């Protein structure tokens, strides 16, 4: 996938998150790190199982509508504490707050460039 498609996908993922007020959105750029499974992580938080599910659904609808694309794989929906959406070059991590703190994705990928995304709410 080229950079323009990555940028458009990330923009639509973030819009999907914002539409249901996902929190603490960060973009982790993995392109400078060797042997990574994708180019970017988008990480966000929800306050409950219901909100995590709503974020996943909103991202899926937004990306499908704007780009006619769907995730290659989704996992974690059975308990909605950590839902992973794999769009191949961009992987979305939707956490409940305590699960996000426990796994500390940002800390694990501390060598990557991490950008905090300003949300409009």
What is the reported pLDDT for 86?
Answer: 98
User: What is the number of helices (H) and of strands (E) in the chain?
Assistant: 4, 6
User: Mind listing the pLDDT tens digit for each residue in 71-116?
Assistant: 999 999 999 999 999 999 999 999 999 999 999 999 999 899 999 9
Average pLDDT for the chain: 95
Mean pLDDT over 14-29 rounds to: 97
Distance CA 42, CA 90 (A): 7
How do the domains of the chain map onto residue ranges?
Answer: 3-116
pLDDT of residue 120: 74
When pLDDT is averaged across residues 21-40 and rounded to a whole number, the result is 96
**Homologous superfamily of 3-116:** Beta Polymerase, domain 2 (3.30.460.10)
Separation in Å, CA 37 to CA 87, 112, 116? 11, 13, 21
Is 1 a residue whose pLDDT tops 60? no
> pTM for this one?
0.95
């Amino acid at each position: 996938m080229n950079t323009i498609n990555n940028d458009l996908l990330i923009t639509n993922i973030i819009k999907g998150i914002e539409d249901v007020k996902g929190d603490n959105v960060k973009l982790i750029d993995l392109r400078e790190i060797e042997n990574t499974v994708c180019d970017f992580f988008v990480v966000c938080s929800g306050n409950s199982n219901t909100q995590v599910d709503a974020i996943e659904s909103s991202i899926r609808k937004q990306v499908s509508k704007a780009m006619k694309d769907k995730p290659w794989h989704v996992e974690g929906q059975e308990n909605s504490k950590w839902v992973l959406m794999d769009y191949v070059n961009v992987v979305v991590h939707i956490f409940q707050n305590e699960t996000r703190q426990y796994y500390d994705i940002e800390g694990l990928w501390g060598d990557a460039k991490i950008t905090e995304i300003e949300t409009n709410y």
